[in-house]
């Protein structure tokens, strides 16, 4: 029976870079999750009788909120909910199911790479019918609705069994529990040369994949070990846990340090990779070499034609603004378009739908293609494996050769996490205020050629997104970018992105921080980071 529940608005339900992310206790407030879910439904039209996909990364609160979404979907008029067994469905797999089933849309319950558990993070994101995150037009409408909402609709569906595969009907509403891996594994098989990768494993190629006790565990087991024949044990930490074993499921050099150390150590395997909480990020490490996400994007774009799914070539490449320009050089050589978007996968959706881009990537460990409308961690790993199998070279040789051909973009990101919000805003406002005066005079011996606050004009729908990051460009092509993260849940995270282009192969083996030292110092001088944040060093350097 449909119930109408009276509620009062919360003022803090503005979706960030990727949906609404808050601490678990915030979501546990009475009506909090329901208000947001209803605000989503109230911002949509035409879903009567349609299918809604519900996916989650298995973190604490996952099952409970899945229950709420399904009951509210039924009460709001949807006809069917498709949910992954055990409440598990990775973000790219959810995107695939939405597309394959021609669903109206889907909910993804995740706070991605943020930690999970009773006092950690949770998140709710809505994806539209193309399988991608809702565009700003919709997230703005959701936020507006959340500020005035007065009631929500739900219904009692009885005890929900999320563990048994198959369909069940309650009062005309169908709940379908699906195998979370099967459709996704089939999609991967259609894109990559599984035979060649199997052959590589048969001839002794060794790999370590760290699922970080997050959602990709079951996917990695099935695809890498069962379908591709990698030895058992290739995938580790493969059981999804509600608290990710107490770790940050963030595949970077800090939180996946064990994997990094293994690949740098004696008797290292040929290839190391990891994915994050909800399976959309990737970390790529070869024996003795870490591949930055920006380089990985460029390399995958340059070599994608070696995989059957991309043999016909790329339509274009898209990258987020803070991502290095390495991919731009590949696009130039291929003679295809390059698009620079704000941070946030949602900005790639229009480009992919319009057939302007085939491959997209972000410095924040996200790479993907037009096969779904989310970034896709395992996809990137499999494309790397396909390239390695086709070229028969080591990761290190492939990367060095790429730099020799295109030049090297030295790149690093310095994060200052948990900074006081006011201080972070003051820093960014201060930079914004002096943008016009920056070009000309030298900063730490470097001449600024241009400075702006990045604005994006979507070439497909004509929309404009302003204030997407402060860019300071130096003569010679180096740059420093400042922006505040849109995915944190406490305080502010200041991100400083530093990049230098080096065409000379004789200078490609400098340690990254050393290669960027003068720019790092210039960033400090122009932004007063130490004084304004009270921090002497970044929390995380990637
Ligand atoms: C999300 C978005 C990405 C974005 C990243 C970092 O990733 O989907 O597009 O690059 O956040 O955003 P920020 O710098 O604002 O923290 P995920 O993996 O958290 O969904």
Domains of the chain by start residue, with CATH: 2-178 (3.40.120.10), 183-406 (3.40.120.10), 408-541 (3.30.310.50)
Query: Span 505-511, mean pLDDT?
Result: 95
pLDDT for the residue 132:
95
DSSP single-letter state for residue 506: G
Residue with tokens 């669903």: 103
Q: Answer yes or no: is pLDDT of 489 > 90.
A: no
Name the residue with the closest Cα to ligand 1, atom 7: 18
Is the shortest distance between the CB of 486 and ligand 1 below 6 Å?
yes
Stretch 278-296: mean pLDDT: 97
Arithmetic mean of pLDDT, 6-20: 94
Q: Is 371 in the pocket of ligand 1 (CB under 6 A)?
A: no
Q: Is the pLDDT score of 204 beyond 80?
A: yes
Q: What is the spatial distance between Cα 169 and Cα 274, in angstroms, rounded to a whole number?
A: 38
Distance from C-alpha of 142 to C-alpha of 20, rounded to nearest angstrom: 10
Q: What is the mean pLDDT of residues 458-471?
A: 94
Which has the higher per-residue pLDDT, 118 or 441? Answer: 118
In sequence order, what are the residues at sequence separation of 6 or more whose Cβ sits closer than 8 angstroms to the Cβ of residue 271?
205, 206, 207, 208, 285, 286, 287, 384, 385, 388, 395
Closest residue to atom 18 of ligand 1, CA basis: 112
DSSP state of 131: S
- Bridge partners of 285, per DSSP, are 272, 290
- DSSP bridge partners of 118: none
Nearest CA to ligand 1 atom 2: 344
Ligand 1 pocket: which of 366, 377, 380, 468 to mutate (most atoms within 8 A of CB): 366
* 487 CA: nearest ligand 1 atom: 16
Q: Is-catalytic flag, 112?
A: yes
pLDDT at residue 257, as a whole number: 94
Distance from residue 344's CA to the centre of ligand 1 (Å): 6
Q: Find the catalytic residue in 112, 146, 275, 369.
A: 112
pLDDT digits (tens, 9 = 90+) for 385-409: 999 999 999 999 999 999 999 999 9
Q: What pLDDT does residue 380 have?
A: 98
Categorize the per-residue pLDDT at 440 as very low, low, confident or very high, splitting at 50, 70 and 90.
confident
Does 476 score more than 90 pLDDT? Answer: no
Ligand 1 atom at minimal distance to the Cα of residue 495: 14
Ligand 1 in contact with 350 (CB < 6 A)?
A: no
Q: Is the CB of 91 under 6 A from ligand 1?
A: no
- The residue nearest atom 17 of ligand 1, judged by CA position, is 112
Cα 83 to averaged position of ligand 1 atoms, centre (Å): 24
Q: 530 phi and psi, to 5 degrees?
A: -60, -50
Distance set, CA 7 to CA 36, 42, 150, 454 (Å) = 11, 14, 5, 39
How many C-beta neighbours within 10 Å does residue 3 have?
12
Pocket test for ligand 1, best of 344, 351, 424 (most atoms within 8 A of CB): 344
Is the CB of 113 within 6 Å of ligand 1?
yes
CA–centroid distance, 534 to ligand 1, in Å, is 25
Strand, helix or coil for residue 202: helix
438 and 473 in contact (C-beta within 8 Å)?
Answer: no
Q: Is the CB of 367 under 6 A from ligand 1?
A: no
Half-sphere exposure of 462 (CA within 13 A, CB side): 0
Decide if pLDDT at 329 tops 80.
yes
Q: Say if residue 488's pLDDT is above 80.
A: no
Cα atoms in the Cβ-side hemisphere of radius 13 Å centred on 207: 34
What is the value of pTM for the model shown?
0.95
Res 216 pLDDT > 90: yes
Going from the C-alpha of 255 to that of each of 111, 113, 115, 382, the distances in angstroms are: 16, 10, 11, 22
Q: Is 114 in the pocket of ligand 1 (CB under 6 A)?
A: no
């Amino acid at each position: 029976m449909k119930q109408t529940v009276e509620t009062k608005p919360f003022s803090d339900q503005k979706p960030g870079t990727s949906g609404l992310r808050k601490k678990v206790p915030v979501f546990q407030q009475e009506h909090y999750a329901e208000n947001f879910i209803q605000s989503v439904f109230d911002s949509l039209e035409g879903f009567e009788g349609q299918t809604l996909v519900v996916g989650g990364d298995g973190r604490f609160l996952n099952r409970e909120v899945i229950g709420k979404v399904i009951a509210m979907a039924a009460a709001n008029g949807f006809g069917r909910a498709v949910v992954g067994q055990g409440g598990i469905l990775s973000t790219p797999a959810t995107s695939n199911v939405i597309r394959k089933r021609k669903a109206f849309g889907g909910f993804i319950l995740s706070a991605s790479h943020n930690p999970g558990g009773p006092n950690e993070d949770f998140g709710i994101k809505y994806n539209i019918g193309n399988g991608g995150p809702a565009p700003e037009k919709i997230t703005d409408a959701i936020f507006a609705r959340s500020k005035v909402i007065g009631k929500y609709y739900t219904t009692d569906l009885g005890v929900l069994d999320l563990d048994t595969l198959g369909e069940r009907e309650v009062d005309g509403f169908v709940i379908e529990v699906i195998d979370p891996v099967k459709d996704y594994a089939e999609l991967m098989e259609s894109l990559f040369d599984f035979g060649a990768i199997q052959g590589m494993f048969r001839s002794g190629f060794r790999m370590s994949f760290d699922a970080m006790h997050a959602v990709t565990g079951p996917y990695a087991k099935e695809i890498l070990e069962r379908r591709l024949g990698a030895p058992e044990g290739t995938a580790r930490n493969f059981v999804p846990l509600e608290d990710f074993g107490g770790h940050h499921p963030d595949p970077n050099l800090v939180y996946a340090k064990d994997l990094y150390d293994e690949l740098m150590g004696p008797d290292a395997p040929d290839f190391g990779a990891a994915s994050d909480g909800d399976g959309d990020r990737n970390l790529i490490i070869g024996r003795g070499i870490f591949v930055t996400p920006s380089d990985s994007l460029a390399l995958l774009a340059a070599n994608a034609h070696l995989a059957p799914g991309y043999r016909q070539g790329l339509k274009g490449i898209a990258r987020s603004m803070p991502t290095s320009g390495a991919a731009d050089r590949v696009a130039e050589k291929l003679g295809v378009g390059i698009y620079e978007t704000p941070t946030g996968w949602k900005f790639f959706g229009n480009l992919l739908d319009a057939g302007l881009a085939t491959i997209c990537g972000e410095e924040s460990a996200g790479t993907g293609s037009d096969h779904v409308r989310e970034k896709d961690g395992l996809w990137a790993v499999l494309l790397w494996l396909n390239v390695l199998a086709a070229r028969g070279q080591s990761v290190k040789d492939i990367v060095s050769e790429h730099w020799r051909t295109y030049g090297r973009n030295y790149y690093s990101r310095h994060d200052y996490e948990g900074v006081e919000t006011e201080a972070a805003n003051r820093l960014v406002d201060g930079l914004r205020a002096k943008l016009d005066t920056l070009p000309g005079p030298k900063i730490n011996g470097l001449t600024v050629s241009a400075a702006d606050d990045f604005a994006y004009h979507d070439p497909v729908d004509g929309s404009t997104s302003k204030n997407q990051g402060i860019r300071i460009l130096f003569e010679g092509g180096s740059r420093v970018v400042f922006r505040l993260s849109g995915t944190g849940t406490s305080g502010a995270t200041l991100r400083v992105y530093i990049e230098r282009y080096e065409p000379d192969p004789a200078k490609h083996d400098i340690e990254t921080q050393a290669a960027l030292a003068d720019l790092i110092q210039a960033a400090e001088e122009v932004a007063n980071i130490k004084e304004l944040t009270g921090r002497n060093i970044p929390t995380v350097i990637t």
